[in-house]
Amino acid sequence: MNTCGPSSAYQELVPGCPAPAGPPLGVIEEVQGPVVDVRCSRLPPLHRAIYVCLNGERFTFEVHRHLDEHRVRAIALHRTSGLKRQMPVFDGGGGLQIPVTPDCLGRLLDIFGWPLDGGPPLVPEAMRPIVAAPVPLSEVAGAGDVLLTGIKVIDLLCPFVRGGKTGLFGGAGVGKTVLIMEFMNAIVRLHQGVSVFAGVGERIREGHELWHDMQDAGVMPRTLMVFGQMDESPGVRFRIGLSALTYAEYLRDTVAKEVLFLMDNAFRFVQAGSELSGLLGRMPATVGYQPTLLSEVAELQERILSTRRGSITAVEAVYVPADDMTDPAVGAILAHLDTTVILSRKQAARGIYPAVDPLASGSRAMDRSVLGDRHYRVAQRVREHLARYRNLEDIIAMLGLEALSEADRRIVHRARRLERYLTQPFFVVADHTGIAGASVPLERTLSDCEALLRGDCDGLPEDACYMQGSLAGKGGVA
């Protein structure tokens, strides 16, 4: 376990800049935006934290490049206004470290572990570096069984894997953040686990609303939120995911609980890496992305692991530029996932929430040996009905429903009810929608879908299936 005692590293969290312990490492030679070139008497290793003192405050940088035998290029993790040439730069003694303690739950923190919620500073039991190797392969536990969420369309058609990684893909405004909030609510309510939320490049308004929504939903005491806001340095946005993941690893290893790790938004992590790449002078690669795209994504994703002590289940929102799933950043993230949930703008426009595309989404847990015969059979039949309905939509639009055969009309009517049945009111937005949230056990979802597929609900109005929990007691459903 990569920890060290709560020594002078914790001074980074204390307001003010205490007197440095040793002589300066070097001096600032040049400042360009968040990029700081430092002339050093001795070269610090890459990813070393170095700092200057300005007006009684500590300004921390992270070394990213050796320019020559005497100069390094670092990225500021604070604003650089006020910095000037020839200011002395001091060695932080190691990489960026954060304070870890069980008391971190219920808190809102920044990249350094400093509170953003107005509460007292954390009293650490240890310090952990945020840039660290994954746990050894000998200690890794494989992904486990299905992790139920109480969300019908997820549990039925693209189930989460306990200890696996799930991506929510979609453009702007299709409901990624709301779905992530509901997962946080579910993991606390159904599994008594804890959630760690990484806000990567969040707008301040979004972060403020999310924090208060979590408090109103009653899940904040078992949640830790770590924010690197949109107006901060690209160095902060690039490292905030690792900072939050370090807290998730700590909770997994010491508190030994099931941890849900959520990131909103993984694409902004890639964007921050692209900004840094340009600032460091690297030549851009495919579609303007950084040449180190694949290794940077892997550095984050390959640390999301489960051990015998506990598990980390990751759910990551991924913005899809121009709704193009072939974008290189989207492809790099897709390669690491166990479950992909594709949120469709077409579904959202039709009022289908959550706006999951049931045919494009999938999971590696969608296997008969994992799910069992009943779940697998029902899921496949639901997909078949929805796929046939989608194929017939153009014919219906041009010629009308009457042009279809009797069998196809029956499939269309049942598929429309299934599509509406897979909508669901969420707990975390109940105050906004006026509809009480619903959590549906998988067994109930399977029973309802079987009834819909058999035709037991053919006499039930379609609206009676929309935004409901279960269908128990409706249309003859037991």
Q: Active-site positions?
A: 176, 202-203
Alpha-carbon gap, residue 17 to 435, rounded angstroms: 51
DSSP states of 82-110: T--TT-EEEE-SSS-EEEE-GGGTT-EE-
Give phi and psi for 170, each to the nearest 5. 180, 160
266: closest CA among 180, 347, 387?
180
CA atoms within 13 A on the CB side of 403: 9
CA distance readout (Å), 215 to 107, 154, 212, 368:
11, 25, 5, 39
Distance of CA 335 to the CA centre of its chain: 15
293 near 211, Cβ under 8 Å?
no
Long-range contacts of 426-435 (CB under 8 A, 24+ apart): 426/178, 426/181, 426/182, 426/185, 426/354, 427/182, 427/185, 427/217, 428/178, 428/181, 428/182, 428/184, 428/185, 428/213, 428/217, 429/178, 429/181, 431/216, 435/467
Q: 352: which residues sit within 8 A by CB, 6+ positions away?
A: 419, 420, 422, 423
Pairing, β 223-229 against β 194-202: parallel
- Helix pair angle (406-421, 442-454), 10° resolution: 160
194 forms beta bridges with 259
